[in-house]
Amino acid sequence: MRTRHAGAATLAALTALTLAACGGGEVGGGGEETGSGSDSGGDSIKIGIKYDQPGLGYQDGSEYTGFDVDVATYVADKLGYSADQIEWVEAPSANRETMLQTGQVDMIFATYSITDERKEQVAFAGPYFIAGQDLLVAEDNTDITGPEELEGKNLCSVTGSTSAQRIKDEYAEGVQLVERPGYAECVTALTAGQVDAVTTDDIILAGLAAQPANQGKVKVVGNPFSEENYGVGLPQDNDRCEDINTAIQEMIDDGSWEKAVTSNTEGTGYTPNADLNPPKPDACA
């Protein structure tokens, strides 16, 4: 009798589970996708960004802000992922290729310049912005208008960066190079009068200048002397490149791209190089 009762209980439980499964779709609304894109969104998407670049990719507690974040959020939406389905992942420069190759992220928006060397390891969509190496100087500095004027002056860049060395090699052999762990430390040195200029990509400098503590104290020279095509890093076997390029073009066409640039560099006087921007996203071609 105990065996018969156990069997009956099991049958009843299975019946209840079957009925619940049949009716669950109606109660929960089925498997409806979120986001406005036509692509299948799935549960979430992992996007790599910088956490320490104000105005581009910056983490403040649970908040993520910056131009890269804005572009990534727009693109994700067009792919079918709402903002709360995005999992932000820190993507340091040295780790970006590995993170894509090992599936730690699905894509990367992190001032990631498209180069032939990198394309041997990963794929790119975009570009979504074309930056150029420039200089950040004190607001009242009228002497430094380009890299040639740095002869005999102190120039700051981050440890391991090639930006400052490029100026020494190509423009001002007598420039004195100063290294700091991060660009925020370089700006602190600039406002304290310890260095005459800071160098890296212009939009990174603009993001730093836009910080409340720096506004009115520093400015971007506005004379870029290189061309850096920021792309969306993807695994080589991806099937999203064309869709991402379409989304970037839509962002440009509907004005959201310009709004994102302006809101993240407000108060700095910075404007993107009009000869290069807005870019034409054609990296998949």
3-state secondary structure of 239: coil
Q: What does the DSSP assignment read for 32-45?
A: ---SSSSS---S-E
Tens-level pLDDT at each residue, the chain (285 residues): 434 444 444 434 434 433 333 333 333 333 334 444 444 556 999 999 999 899 999 999 999 999 999 999 999 999 999 999 999 999 998 899 999 999 999 999 999 999 999 999 999 999 999 999 999 999 999 999 999 999 999 999 988 788 999 999 999 999 999 999 888 899 999 999 999 999 999 999 999 999 999 999 999 999 999 999 999 999 999 999 999 999 999 999 999 999 999 999 988 888 899 999 999 999 886
- According to the model, what pLDDT value does residue 285 have? 63
Strand 154-158 versus strand 133-138 pairing type: unpaired
Angstrom distance (rounded) from CA 156 to CA 181 = 10
- According to the model, what pLDDT value does residue 134 have? 97
Angstrom distance (rounded) from CA 22 to CA 15 = 11
- According to the model, what pLDDT value does residue 30 have? 35
Place of tokens 């572009």: 71
- According to the model, what pLDDT value does residue 4 have? 41
**Within 10 Å of residue 257's Cβ, how many Cβ atoms?**
24
Place of tokens 């992220």: 105
45-131+227-264 architecture in CATH?
3-Layer(aba) Sandwich (3.40)
- According to the model, what pLDDT value does residue 269 have? 81
- According to the model, what pLDDT value does residue 42 have? 66
For the beta sheet containing 52-53, the strands, ordered from the edge strand earlier in sequence to the opposite edge, are 52-53, 57-60, 63-65
3-state secondary structure of 140: coil
Residue 191 has which token pair?
């406002």
Angle at 277 between CA 275 and CA 280, to 5 degrees: 110
Taking the model in full, what pTM does it have? 0.79
Domain with CATH 3.40.190.10 in the chain: 45-131+227-264, 133-220
Q: Which CATH superfamily is domain 133-220 in?
A: Periplasmic binding protein-like II (3.40.190.10)
3-state secondary structure of 82: coil
Angstrom distance (rounded) from CA 63 to CA 108 = 18
**Within 10 Å of residue 239's Cβ, how many Cβ atoms?**
9
Question: Do 156 and 190 touch, CB atoms closer than 8 A?
Answer: yes
